[in-house]
């Protein structure tokens, strides 16, 4: 069943999620980095720089910079494709899965606090 939110409720939810993220001890990710991370964790693999760039309609350097940051945070890892050494596969990590799960929990908690 779809969730029905008025625009002001949707904006309030997004504000509350952003505030919760700013206030916690977790790394601050940009909206672009969150979009890339959620694509990696919610869409079925395999994921490549080229594929992510096409999916998000950005350039490959944009994806690479985001992956550099997320890799340093251990949210994703990169490995050469054994079948095609030209491709770099982006893989999920335990740390990344926990980050995404916690992020989902924050969204649910803030949504439950929304006034009707």
Its CATH architecture, for the domain 29-103, is Orthogonal Bundle (1.10)
Domain ranges of the chain: 29-103
Q: How confident is the model over 10-52, as pLDDT tens digits?
A: 999 999 999 999 998 888 899 999 999 999 999 999 999 999 9
Q: Contacts for 78-81 with beta carbons within 8 Å, 24 or more apart? A: 81/46, 81/48
Q: What is the pLDDT of residue 116?
A: 66
* Token digits of residue 115: 């006034």
What dihedral do alpha carbons 61, 64, 69, 72 form, nearest 10°? -150
pTM over 0.85: yes
Residue 88 CA to residue 22 CA, distance in Å, equals 32
């Amino acid at each position: 069943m779809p969730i029905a939110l008025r625009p002001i409720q949707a904006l309030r939810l997004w504000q509350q999620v952003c505030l919760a993220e700013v206030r916690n001890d977790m790394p601050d990710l940009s909206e672009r980095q969150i979009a890339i991370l959620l694509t990696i964790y919610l869409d079925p693999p395999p994921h490549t720089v080229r594929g992510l760039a096409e999916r998000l309609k950005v350039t490959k350097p944009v994806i690479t910079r985001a992956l550099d940051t997320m890799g340093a945070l251990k949210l994703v890892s990169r490995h050469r494709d054994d079948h095609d050494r030209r491709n770099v596969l982006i893989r999920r990590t335990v740390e990344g899965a926990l980050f995404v799960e916690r992020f989902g929990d924050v969204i649910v908690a803030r949504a439950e606090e929304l006034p009707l």
